[in-house]
Structure 1
């Protein structure tokens, strides 16, 4: 197992992503960070906190709850019942592998009158099976399907590891 990003580097990536989000959403009526269950929700909180630190944009957070081990059979729910009308939704996950989880995580938003939806991931592995690309990426990493990425941002020592 080798460390790809250390604590300081993960922090720098998140700060850069927050500035990019601010630049693209400066005139929005509000941004909602929708973090996918697990590390996606944790990253959404970190990005929201960073954006709150650098901008006056109205920011809300919620979790997209689903079973990552079997997304095709999983119920997909939102942790909060927020008014998302004309809001910019930023769907957040830790690693973009094939895109399957992100596609299923979009389901609750399909019938809502949102302004737009964007995708933010800390690591993009570029193994896309679905035609989606992240709008905000912390790190691009070419890997084989046999390699695994482990993102740990829950504690005080953030890291991204390849094994």
Structure 2
């Protein structure tokens, strides 16, 4: 049996949310020469890539795209790696990006590699915030706030058929 899905955001709405988030990131970091946009592997990295593209089109700030790799189902057991050298990230503003913020566990572990680097600040950007945080993680940039039950599932597609569904 396939669970019924409800469309939350269509492709146009997702694009608008990403553009608005990019403007907010630029507004809060307009004095910076570069901003590190670090996407959590999977849809978070795809979202980070889209944010970088928008930042490049709206601002003189040079974004650096970084992939954060970790096992979302068992982050405490997995190695958490960056596809960038630490010296490239030193004294930079970091925007850690994922598609959905549910409990905050993935973000809490995703921050770990940056704690060994002297960075200016770490901010969180998320397309959908479900506000079920169990960890002290709150996004500075949110595309869409969604009140859900803990059993609901938010499905983000950032590809050919860009959309956000609730199951």
The TM-score range, normalised by the shorter chain, is over 0.9
Q: Matched residues in 1 for 2:59 and 2:107: separation? A: 27
**Unaligned ranges ≥5, structure 2:** none
CA contact (8 A) 1:29 1:86 kept: no
From 29, 40, 61, give the equivalent of 1:25: 29
**Unaligned ranges ≥5, structure 1:** none
Aligned to 1:94: 99
| Cα offset, 1:29, TM superposition | 3.2
Aligned to 1:43: 47
Aligned to 2:12: 8
From 96, 116, 131, give the equivalent of 2:136: 131
Q: Matched residues in 2 for 1:73 and 1:111: separation? A: 18
1:50-89 alignment to 2 at 5 Å?
50-81=54-85, 83-89=88-94
CA contact (8 A) 1:94 1:151 kept: yes
| Cα offset, 1:28, TM superposition | 1.3
Q: Matched residues in 2 for 1:148 and 1:37: separation? A: 19
SS at match of 1:69: coil
Aligned to 2:154: 149
Q: Deviations over 1:1-56 (max 9, x none)?
A: 11100000000000000000010000013101100010000000000000000001
Q: Which runs of 4+ in 1 moved over 6 A?
A: none
Aligned to 1:111: 116
SS at match of 1:147: coil
- Give TM-score, length-normalised by structure 2: 0.95
CA contact (8 A) 1:29 1:87 kept: no
- Give TM-score, length-normalised by structure 1: 0.97
Q: Matched residues in 2 for 1:115 and 1:28: separation? A: 10
